[in-house]
Homo-oligomer: A and B are copies of this chain.
Amino acid sequence: MADGGNGFGSAAAKVDEARLWQRHVDMAKLGGTPKGGVRRLALDANDIAARRLLADWAKPYGWQVSMDAIGNLYIRRPGTDNDADPVLSGSHTDTQPSGGRFDGIYGVLAAFEAMEAIEAAGIRTRRPIETVVWTCEEGGARFPMGTMGSGVFVGRTPLADARAVADYDGVTVGEAVDAARAALPDLPERTFGFPIAAFVEAHIEQGPILEEKGLQIGVVTGIQGARRFRVEIEGADAHAGTTPRARRKDALSAAVAMVAALEKVFHDDPSDTVRFTVGRFVVTPNAPAVVPGHVAFTIDFRHPDDAVLTSLGDQVEPICQANRKGCAVTVHQTARGKPLTFLDLVPGAVDQAAKGLGLGHMRINSGAGHDAGPMQVAAPSGMIFVPCEHGISHAEAENATPADLAAGARVLAETLVTLAGR
């Protein structure tokens, strides 16, 4: 349909699967690990090199590359109306300590590929389109603050607060950003928080649903909410061989009863939408012949519906208290994040693009957090998911196919053209 003209599908047709894959290969060298993964911590030398590489790739096009005060990088393809708010697309270049080759970087490379494809198709959009790299999406990998760059952009986090955050070696974000700016002196300063028309983020799913259903495109409708709890159980250490059961205050036995009772309630979900995880479980003194006097465990509970987060989550404390078996128990809620539903502008455009291109797609909710979460505060936002192998991510084994990555870039290219207007 697109051949010859520059109507719908013409940008998608110019997406170059081999070029996009090669860019993934090149990026994966920056912080590449022996096991085939990537360790590229926020604003470290490899993360700065990734920004350098992107700036170099932009040069032949004459697109302006700039950086703001938190290290977010912007590559701008002008529109016919450069006073119009731009459409932004991108993700992040930083990874988990033993991360993979796709989480984050795919959203950046897909955006850049989409801009190249739009350029190749000769399409002039009304709004400027910009590829963006948000600084430090992976909270805790180096700095203990996630979605930092997008959070500062939208004003969620004051710049000074973000700059004061220190990594495990005591280096602050401020020092790291200043080092990045010094390493890239040719990039002009950009003020963050400028008005934008929309934000679109491509990402691997980090879950198994698309792969299982044999679909290439997930039209992301929102990011589920989360509640986190820490449960502490105080019993009494006792001799395993001599202490009768009636005299025990066995913290592990109580913890087991609590988790079993919680699972009964949280697992009663035929739709398999609830995400309930006891991930950390620490026993003291943890010796084979001693009845454990103390157990602490965490609960990570996520759901797209805030009413469910409330009704199920509020049962955590009473269920724990009902199963304390003579021990003392305290339940702390350590975090609560409301579910986010994207305004229909971006998901609608993504849906139309996928349908128009004839790609298998479905509406899907994101289990993990992403920069598109904070960005929704600034402008209508949304995401495009592509499948990843066995749903594995945050691991060196993370994998995706060149064909799926290209399919996502095609949908993104058409979506950006739609959002930027002709």
* Chain A positions near chain B (C-beta within 8 angstroms): 205-209, 224, 226, 228, 237-247, 250, 252-253, 256-257, 259-260, 263, 267, 269, 272, 274-283, 286-292, 298, 300, 302, 366-369, 391-395
A280-B272 CB under 8 A given contacts A300-B241, A391-B247: no
Q: How far is the CA of A174 from the CA of B158 in the complex (A)?
A: 66
Residue contact B391 to A275, C-beta cutoff 8 Å:
no
Q: How far is the CA of A366 from the CA of B226 in the complex (A)?
A: 50
Which residues of chain B come closer than 8 Å to A281, judged between CB atoms? 252, 281, 283, 286, 292
Most B C-beta atoms less than 10 A away, residue of A245, A298, A366: A245
A244-B207 CB under 8 A given contacts A239-B393, A368-B239, A391-B239: yes
Contact of A247 among B208, B283, B286 (CB under 8 A): B208
Residue contact B280 to A288, C-beta cutoff 8 Å:
yes
Residue contact B277 to A367, C-beta cutoff 8 Å:
no
Report copies per complex: 2
Given contacts A240-B277, A244-B275, 19 further A-B contacts (CB under 8 A): A207-B239, A207-B243, A208-B247, A209-B244, A239-B368, A241-B275, A241-B300, A241-B369, A242-B275, A243-B367, A252-B259, A253-B259, A256-B278, A279-B289, A279-B292, A280-B288, A282-B286, A288-B298, A289-B300
A395-B300 CB under 8 A given contacts A208-B247, A280-B286, A286-B280: no
Smallest Cβ-Cβ distance to A302: which chain B residue? B241
A391-B243 CB under 8 A given contacts A253-B263, A257-B260, A260-B256: yes
Q: How far is the CA of A345 from the CA of B416 in the complex (A)?
A: 94
Residue contact B291 to A277, C-beta cutoff 8 Å:
yes
A252-B278 CB under 8 A given contacts A209-B244, A245-B272, A288-B228: yes
A241-B289 CB under 8 A given contacts A278-B252, A281-B281: no
Nearest-neighbour CB distance to chain B for A282, whole angstroms, equals 7
Contact of A391 among B242, B292, B366, B392 (CB under 8 A): B242
Q: How far is the CA of A278 from the CA of B286 in the complex (A)?
A: 9
Smallest Cβ-Cβ distance to A223: which chain B residue? B241
Contact of A290 among B269, B272, B279 (CB under 8 A): B279
